[in-house]
Chains A and B, each alone.
Chain A
């Protein structure tokens, strides 16, 4: 007789618990991606997800094909319409999350579910392309819980648990995996340069740019993402000295100021430095090359170059958090002698713009003669006393922007003031330029560092005065001194939304120390830092081969530890004997040591004679022990527990002779 060949039977559908967990996984992944999806797509996908869950609870079965295919087409169409392409980070993520939800529609067997979970893990990782912060990473790690729980639920023959309890073993698994994770994370060799493609520059995120026109910063000034963090070697400089220079702009076309990088490397302008300060800046990715520095840097960090106006350009755009050390001068004379070309550039203005400004500058020149400092002072007094208002929502300016600002609207923020001041100076014949960067920041006392947010972006001017070189003048400070002494938020007054209220902002500033730790320790752990990993052990430069060996060794170590755990078999101990041992130890401290070969009864009798005050207690313990030991084969659990408790509570009273 022969066995019939095994019939290919259709795989059985997964049970309700597994499907619930699968839906939960998809929902979690979807929730992590929802913030950057178009709202209508989010709503549609959420409805689809909920509907599928409800439908599967009513009746087990796949969603019919005639429904699935149009949905797939609709999804692709939606992504193309909304993003213009299906390639790239944002459209790719939107497409992936849509496909994931569609995968749920046809998930019936454990095979489908496993494929879905694998895909979900991938899409979870994609969420980190948008935000690498501590919070986002933690949320994504939590998203792994339902995924792992789903995989568990697909196994047969389990003890029933409730849904929240089904997540706990996954948490334990992740916790057990954490040490190996950290070692692997530190030791996986990082790439010096990407294997393919430029790392996504991403969408234009608000940040300083290489051109400026009044009104550009509006978006930047309400963005309170961290821009950079600075830790100083000594005490931090006073708040009114916390100017971080980035772009130095010479070119003005009547509307915008432009930064032009020198085509040929030119020697940095000479500077005579007074007091200097050392510090380290951790810069958030800007996708630009400019590295902001405190005031006047003396030298450039590695892989960056000091430019002509002592701004620092990195060799490559900053696409990942970057940390660099610098030393800067706070008192200095920059370019004490101005060459003719620079003087010409510093005075150049487009013809036919801002006639009233020009007339005002001429009047000042006539009044003060050759005293440039007096003209600067006159301009600052104008801003201070001329009825100027600091606002983040100024009236728009016309063609003669500076005329409009100075003589009619008289409201604006740092860009307006810096731009107008610089034009005014040039009209008066004083070389001047616009500098953008950051000013201020929040001093985190707990972490001893200065947190500078995007909203601390600032623009000011530098004028060249004979004998003093380039001197920083902040016209905004003249109009609104709080901007410089108390920061952008104080200057804006009550123009900010509720979520930037004082106490909330304070809370966020304090919380930032965790983000800083995360950014420095995890996100900014690049190939450079990795090579210095073994510096404490005397190896200055850890190369890839060493890292590989280390990784292998530590993995083997962890596997050995794991194997030891896996092979651990607890010997079925004798709780009764263990409890008696406890009593023996306590008695031995009083000198009543059990002799070899002495039975427990004899021993405890001897102990009772030696400790007459505790005779009853010892007698009771002994009777209990003998009963448990010899009266039954299998002593009842509760009396065993009672004996152990009694043995644990037993104390040898101090002997009174």
Chain B
């Protein structure tokens, strides 16, 4: 049954230009308007229509005008709810989409920012099998989070999103497709196990503590700070003493991760290994640098550095 419906939908989208018009991706922001909002009754809506019909025939048959009036009232309220359903989506705007980080095979978290000049409730957003619902205040932005499944590393286009609502009575379902022209970068999946990186980096000259370029910041003096760390020049312009703050003492050697060292492997395997090493370096708070064909990331550590390296890996052809 579900397969049949999907085939029917595919056929309809192939035949009806109105349905396919918005299949092409569009630039953000996307605002919903009447030409791209569709409304159909829900299953409950159809059932309710049958019920109304039964009530109508019954009321007419027994010439019960009060019952007929009630039936008309219910029917008119249902028809009005269709307009309310339309109005629930009309004018809704998808302002921008932000993506988190994820390695291939794991879902990536998308944050979609919707705004609207009217308050709205019970708007639902479907992406594949993920679904979420949100409400909006007037002139406010709602950040809606959704997980997008990923398969491969590299740039991945956002799929079509369905925004829909059965507000207010659940009798009608208004929906529209959103296809933002936006891609998200998926990081490579690290290999599970393998050799540690080449020990060339375990060099005595990298064992020094406190490398000059690791000076991180100046901070207020605290009792017990060594005198040679005091930044005398900077302190002259300041109320109190300032102390040069260094990164954690470097206890481990610096890794030089190099694409060229991994010869004799195919590209994806190289990327997977480098990704694993990067992950280990990150876990061990170890300094590392990365050389890739066309890209070079100087030595560093921390989450930003890790993200830079992984992005570079993900972008490899």
| Chain A contacts to B: CB under 8 angstroms | 1, 3, 6, 110, 114, 118, 121-122, 124-125, 128-129, 132-133, 136-137, 140-141, 144, 148, 151-152, 154-159, 169, 173-174, 176-178, 180-182, 184-185, 188, 190-191, 194-197, 199-200, 319-320, 522-526, 558-559, 562-563, 565-567, 569-570, 572
Binds A, one of B82-90, B241-249, B281-289, B299-307: B82-90
Q: How far is the CA of A176 from the CA of B83 in the complex (A)?
A: 11
Contact of B80 with A128 in the complex, beta carbons under 8 Å: no
For residue B134, CB closer than 8 A to chain A, the reply is yes
**Which residue of chain B is the closest to A124 with respect to CB atoms?**
B70
Contact of A151 with B90 in the complex, beta carbons under 8 Å: no
Contact of B134 with A141 in the complex, beta carbons under 8 Å: no
Q: How far is the CA of A1 from the CA of B189 in the complex (A)?
A: 13
For residue B63, CB closer than 8 A to chain A, the reply is yes
Q: How far is the CA of A133 from the CA of B67 in the complex (A)?
A: 11
- Whole-angstrom distance between the Cβ of B140 and the nearest chain A Cβ: 12
Contact of A181 with B69 in the complex, beta carbons under 8 Å: yes
- Whole-angstrom distance between the Cβ of B144 and the nearest chain A Cβ: 10
For residue B124, CB closer than 8 A to chain A, the reply is yes
Contact of A190 with B121 in the complex, beta carbons under 8 Å: no
Contact of B51 with A121 in the complex, beta carbons under 8 Å: yes
Binds A, one of B165-173, B222-230, B251-259: B165-173
- Whole-angstrom distance between the Cβ of A197 and the nearest chain B Cβ: 7
For residue B297, CB closer than 8 A to chain A, the reply is no
Subset of 5 A-B contacts with CB under 8 Å: A156-B122, A157-B122, A173-B80, A185-B65, A526-B65
Contact among A125, A200, A558 for B71, CB-based, below 8 A: A125
Contact among A133, A158, A199, A565 for B63, CB-based, below 8 A: A199
Contact among A124, A144, A158, A522 for B65, CB-based, below 8 A: A522
Q: How far is the CA of A55 from the CA of B73 in the complex (A)?
A: 34
Contact of A178 with B133 in the complex, beta carbons under 8 Å: no
Q: How far is the CA of A191 from the CA of B61 in the complex (A)?
A: 7
- Whole-angstrom distance between the Cβ of B53 and the nearest chain A Cβ: 12
- Near A by CB (< 8 A), chain B positions 60-109 give 60-77, 79-81, 83-84, 86-87, 90-91, 105
- Whole-angstrom distance between the Cβ of B29 and the nearest chain A Cβ: 16
Q: How far is the CA of A54 from the CA of B133 in the complex (A)?
A: 30
Size class of the B contact interface (CB-based, 8 Å): 35 or more
Contact of B84 with A173 in the complex, beta carbons under 8 Å: yes
Contact of B63 with A190 in the complex, beta carbons under 8 Å: yes
Q: How far is the CA of A80 from the CA of B54 in the complex (A)?
A: 26
Most buried by A among B79, B137, B171: B79
Q: How far is the CA of A122 from the CA of B71 in the complex (A)?
A: 9
Chain A residues with Cβ below 8 Å from B272 are: none
For residue B239, CB closer than 8 A to chain A, the reply is no
Contact of B64 with A197 in the complex, beta carbons under 8 Å: no
A157-B123, A566-B83 known; 16 new pairs, CB 8 Å cut-off, are A3-B129, A118-B47, A118-B48, A121-B51, A128-B64, A136-B66, A152-B167, A173-B80, A178-B73, A178-B76, A180-B76, A184-B75, A191-B60, A194-B63, A195-B60, A566-B87
Chain A residues with Cβ below 8 Å from B69 are: 137, 181, 185, 522
Most buried by B among A155, A319, A563: A155
Chief secondary structure at chain B's binding surface? helix
Contact of A125 with B67 in the complex, beta carbons under 8 Å: yes
Contact among B34, B68, B151, B170 for A151, CB-based, below 8 A: B170
Q: How far is the CA of A148 from the CA of B48 in the complex (A)?
A: 12
- Whole-angstrom distance between the Cβ of A273 and the nearest chain B Cβ: 35
For residue B44, CB closer than 8 A to chain A, the reply is yes
Q: How far is the CA of A633 from the CA of B61 in the complex (A)?
A: 66
Chain A residues with Cβ below 8 Å from B55 are: 121-122, 125
Q: How far is the CA of A178 from the CA of B70 in the complex (A)?
A: 11
For residue B117, CB closer than 8 A to chain A, the reply is yes
Contact of A184 with B72 in the complex, beta carbons under 8 Å: yes
Chain B residues with Cβ below 8 Å from A185 are: 65, 68-69, 72
- Near A by CB (< 8 A), chain B positions 129-146 give 129, 133-135, 137
Contact of A152 with B123 in the complex, beta carbons under 8 Å: no
Contact of A572 with B117 in the complex, beta carbons under 8 Å: yes
Chain B residues with Cβ below 8 Å from A191 are: 60-61, 63
- Whole-angstrom distance between the Cβ of A266 and the nearest chain B Cβ: 32
Contact of A569 with B91 in the complex, beta carbons under 8 Å: yes
Q: How far is the CA of A567 from the CA of B134 in the complex (A)?
A: 22
**Which residue of chain B is the closest to A182 with respect to CB atoms?**
B72
Most buried by A among B58, B66, B75, B87: B66
For residue B128, CB closer than 8 A to chain A, the reply is yes
Contact of A522 with B170 in the complex, beta carbons under 8 Å: no
Chain A residues with Cβ below 8 Å from B171 are: 151
Chain B residues with Cβ below 8 Å from A195 are: 57, 60-61
Contact of B81 with A158 in the complex, beta carbons under 8 Å: no
With A157-B121, A177-B77 given, is the CB distance from A128 to B129 under 8 Å? no
Contact of A188 with B77 in the complex, beta carbons under 8 Å: no
Q: How far is the CA of A177 from the CA of B70 in the complex (A)?
A: 11
With A3-B128, A157-B121, A180-B76 given, is the CB distance from A137 to B66 under 8 Å? yes
Q: How far is the CA of A151 from the CA of B78 in the complex (A)?
A: 11
Chain A residues with Cβ below 8 Å from B137 are: 159
Contact of B90 with A566 in the complex, beta carbons under 8 Å: yes
Chain B residues with Cβ below 8 Å from A174 are: 73, 77
With A157-B122, A523-B65, A565-B83 given, is the CB distance from A188 to B60 under 8 Å? yes
Q: How far is the CA of A181 from the CA of B60 in the complex (A)?
A: 15
Contact of A526 with B168 in the complex, beta carbons under 8 Å: no
Chain B residues with Cβ below 8 Å from A114 are: 44, 170
For residue B59, CB closer than 8 A to chain A, the reply is yes
